[in-house]
Amino acid sequence: MMDKVFVQGLEVLTTIGVYEWEKGIRQKIRFDLEMGFDNRPAAADDDIHKTLDYAALSQKVSSYSEQNHVELVETMAERIAQLILNEFPVLWVKVRLTKPSAVANAAGVGVEIERFAARVSKL
């Protein structure tokens, strides 16, 4: 069993979509993130510096997704997963990206992906 740090319902306004009308507007997307991380050192010392800082991570994800415009939710989810794996000491990451307003009569549509750090051979 592995510890996790999570960020739930992180909302960002950005330009994302395959259709021409989507390229000139900003739409809300929502991230639900889970990261595999050993929380025991931080807990033992009650030390923020030993945590996976979910505030710092949320800020990076928000900035990247606001400023980088793609067509597919698949592309954005992959880029966010790689950003987290490259910039934070996590073992794996799960990225769920929801577009809440894309499909009429659906509460949300999107993708969920899970990626492992290259240094993790097998968990």
Ligand X SMILES: Nc1nc2c(c(=O)[nH]1)N=C([C@H](O)[C@@H](O)CO)CN2
By CB under 6 A, name the one of 17, 31, 42, 52 that touches ligand X: 17
By CB under 6 A, name the one of 102, 113, 116, 117 that touches ligand X: 102
Q: Is 21 in the site for ligand X (CB under 6 A)?
A: no
d(C-alpha 10, C-alpha 66), whole Å: 12
Query: Whose Cβ is closer to ligand X: residue 19's or residue 49's?
Result: 19
Interface with ligand X: number of residues (CB under 6 A)? 9
Q: Is 99 in the site for ligand X (CB under 6 A)?
A: yes
Spatial contact of 12 and 31, defined as CB atoms under 8 Å apart = yes
d(C-alpha 95, C-alpha 89), whole Å: 16
Catalytic residue check, 50: no
Q: Is 12 in the site for ligand X (CB under 6 A)?
A: no
Spatial contact of 93 and 34, defined as CB atoms under 8 Å apart = yes
The dihedrals phi and psi of 47, each to the nearest 5 degrees, come to: -125, 115
Q: Is 106 in the site for ligand X (CB under 6 A)?
A: no
Q: Is 19 in the site for ligand X (CB under 6 A)?
A: yes
d(C-alpha 87, C-alpha 99), whole Å: 25
d(C-alpha 32, C-alpha 65), whole Å: 13
Task: Using CB under 6 A, list all residues that contact ligand X.
Answer: 17-19, 22, 72-74, 99, 102
Q: Tell me which residues are annotated as active site.
A: 99
